[in-house]
A and B are shown apart, each in its own frame.
Chain A
Amino acid sequence: MVIVIGMAFVTMVPRLIPVFIVDKIQFPNWLNGWLDVIPYAALGALIFPGVLTVIPEKPWIGFIGSLFAVLFAVFRANIIFIVLGASIAVFLLTLY
């Protein structure tokens, strides 16, 4: 339980501190611009190369699965459909 509380503490503090920073300081424009594009960079870093580890011993399955997701998304499929579609694709590929 000591470990759990320690883990909680070091996770919560970095999540919380920015609220107070933003409350106290007005950022210059260049910093606002930087923070504004962080979600797109974060998405990139979260997707790759992590997606290759979906089936760790067969990295290509995750890659093909993500291509399906891209394809569905390009054709404006609903996000739930994209998630399920990619999962089904991976499921079928693991059977193969």
Chain B
Amino acid sequence: METRIILNNQQSVKIKMVKKGFIAALPIILGYLPIAITYGVLASQSGISLFELTAMSILVYAGAAQFMGVNMITVGAGSIEIIVATFVLNFRHFVMSLSFANRTRPLEKKWKIPLSLGLTDESFSVASLNTKEGNQEAGGYFYGTLMVTAYASWIVGSFLGGVLGDVIPETLSRSMGIALYAMFIALLIPSVKKEIRFGYIAIVAMVLNYVFSYQWALAQGWSIVCSTLLASFIGTFMIKGRSF
């Protein structure tokens, strides 16, 4: 009898975590759907088959790289060239994955492996700023639901774009282009209110990214990697010890 109550309890904790994970993923859905649809439309207009464009979303699952890939395929770039450019653009996920894996050390590998494959700029940001849920019991379910929901919305969106074409009027989808930036801002501000130095770190990264990408004309991928690493490194001198 007692074991059953404990089991039921664990079950309800898991369900609660799944719900929290889904709610945390909502802004990502809002941001992903219009972008994924735009990607699907663009890819099918470039003559990429529905199967291939959906496969790209399932297998690559990286927005900026997929847009770049479609663009390069259209202009007739070589496959090696496209793959190398993808590597450069997506290398930032190595840095993010390292930070996330280190943060979630208590999680088992059977969780961490699939979670790492679901890391994007957006899922990484939401997951890293919600470690409170993640560190609780059954935190894997929180992260898992978050990742799967974001992933599913990306795939569904690109498929819809490929099948239906422009279902969203252009003015609307362009305006929704700010959605993910607004989400990043919404994630950042509460942390800055708690600890102003996180804000300084972010501003240093912004300035560096601006200098690297606009002034030095560095590739977007390297620019984000370098400014993230450098700004956070400078940040370690601002923040002594692990206070969070």
* A→B interface (CB under 8 Å): 1-12, 14-19, 21-23, 27, 29-30, 32-51, 54-55, 62, 65-66, 68-70, 72-74, 76-77, 79-80, 82-91, 94-95
Separation in Å of the A88 CB from the closest CB of chain B?
Answer: 8
| Interface SS, B side | helix
Q: Which of A41, A50, A80 contacts B30 (CB 8 A)?
A: A80
Q: Mark B80-92, 1 if CB is under 8 A from A, else 0.
A: 0011101100111
A-B contact count (CB 8 A): 286
Which chain A residues lie closer than 8 Å to B86 at the CB level? 6-7, 10-11
Separation in Å of the B100 CB from the closest CB of chain A?
Answer: 8
Smallest CB gap from B34: residue in A: A87
* B→A interface (CB under 8 Å): 26-27, 30-31, 52, 55-56, 59-62, 65, 69, 73, 79, 82-84, 86-87, 90-103, 105, 109, 112-113, 116-117, 119, 121, 124-125, 128-129, 171-172, 174-179, 181-191, 193, 198-199, 201-206, 208-210, 213-214, 223-224, 227-233, 235-236, 239, 241-242, 244
Query: In the complex the two chains form, is A40's CB within 8 Å of B188's CB?
Result: yes
| Interface SS, A side | helix
Smallest CB gap from A34: residue in B: B236
Smallest CB gap from B177: residue in A: A54
**A33 to B242 Cα, complex, angstroms:** 6
